[in-house]
Amino acid sequence: MVVVELLTLDKPYPQYSSEQHAEYVCKQGERPVLTQFGIPPVLQALLEQSWAQDVRRRLSMKAVCSQMHSLTECTDDELSRLPLNDLSSSMHTIQTRPGLECSSESPVVFEFPPQFQHLLQDCEILSEYSDMDNSMDLTLTTTASTTWQDSVSTFF
């Protein structure tokens, strides 16, 4: 949900408090319909794989990091042409920049616009419902970004 909010600059389920959001998303397994946000389909597929209800089926943060980095190299036209039937093979067709290293020990830094301060509270509440044993460190900071590509590129 944090990445959806980062990419769209809109809070999913704005009508819910942080506690209601945790109930709706974490306990009931609800997810937003991504087509309404104008996120490229290949990125939608990546997000959906990242938030599978069964934690064992979710992508690792290392895989998400690598794939999102690959996507930042694509134009919108290229993204719209990537096949969705096998996201992992699509990612292999994209050349990545040399030097990216994502390891299980690497912290992941998210930078958000200042108006997203409430994400800190939401992440704290949502982490109570997550299995954090196998998670990477997560750092939230604020900065200005205007497009999903700008937002994603701040990770790297």
What is the residue extent of each domain of the chain? 2-153
For residue range 76-131, list pLDDT tens digits in order. Answer: 777 777 766 545 444 444 443 333 344 444 444 555 555 555 655 555 544 454 54
Nearest to 74 by CA among 42, 104, 100: 42
> Rounded CA gap, 91 and 16, in Å?
35
Q: How far is CA 48 from the centre of its chain?
A: 9
- Segment 31-37 shows an average pLDDT of 83
Cβ–Cβ contacts within 10 Å for residue 23, how many? 14
Distance between CA atoms of 75 and 156, rounded to whole angstroms? 17
Residue range 135-148, pLDDT digits in tens: 444 444 444 444 44
SS (H, E, C) 12-70: CCCCCCHHHHHHHHHHCCCCCCHHHHCCCHHHHHHHHHHCCCCHHHCCCHHHHHHHHHH
In sequence order, which residues have a C-beta less than 8 Å from that of residue 23 and are 6 or more positions away? Answer: none
* pLDDT surpasses 80 at 16: yes
Query: Could you give the CA distance from residue 126 to residue 128 in angstroms, rounded to a whole number?
Result: 5
The more confidently predicted of residues 131 and 74 is: 74
Q: What percent of the chain has pLDDT over 70?
A: 53
